[in-house]
Structure 1
């Protein structure tokens, strides 16, 4: 089984959040998860929901701010083992190309 999630953790304040986001991402290192950060969040893969939720809680707690906003979207495939990259590859197969554009 594979649990895939999109996680976004950020302080609620003005200015750059890069340092706080880096703290949240670094907190994932203590868990048996794989992840990839993109401009809008971090995709996390874990073998089970308990591991995923423990990693998410650590990322949330790693942001030292008066107010922290965390968004979590979970895809818990209980009968199929599919990685995040495979999901993208399926879309790319339908498109017949990479699922990205080349910005001008």
Structure 2
């Protein structure tokens, strides 16, 4: 089984959230999961759904602030073993290119 998730922890703080988000990301190191942080949240990958819940709870608890919002979206593939990276590769195969901009506004 492969379970992937999108985790977003949003502390209410003055100024930049980066120091608190770093605490949340660091808390993930205690778990047997793969993760990749993006500008909007963190992609998690584990062999069991319970690992995702535990990691998300730890990330949530690691953040200081008088209010913290946490969003966790899970994709639990129960009959197929497929890495998160493979999901992107399949989309790219259909696109015939990488699944990201080829230039545009950022040039």
- TM-score interval (norm. to shorter): over 0.9
Cα deviations across residues 38-81 of structure 1 (Å, max 9, x unaligned)? 11100000110111111110000000111001011100000011
Match of 1:23 in 2: 23
* Aligned match of 2:2: 2
Long gaps (5+) in structure 1: none
Question: RMSD over aligned Cα, in angstroms?
Answer: 0.9
Q: What displacement does 1:89 show?
A: 0.4
Aligned residues: 104
- Is it true that 1:93 corresponds to 2:93 in the alignment? yes
Tell me, what secondary structure is at the counterpart of 1:60?
Answer: helix
In structure 2, the residue matched to 1:46 is: 46
Alignment correspondent of 2:83:
83
- Other-structure match for 2:34: 34
Q: CA deviation at 1:14?
A: 4.3
Task: Report the TM-score when normalising by structure 1.
Answer: 0.96
Q: What is the CA–CA distance in structure 2 between the aligned matches of 1:29 and 1:95, rounded to whole Å?
A: 34
Q: Does residue 72 of structure 1 match 2:72?
A: yes
- DSSP-derived class of the 2:15 partner: coil
Q: Deviations over 1:83-103 (max 9, x none)?
A: 111111011001000001133
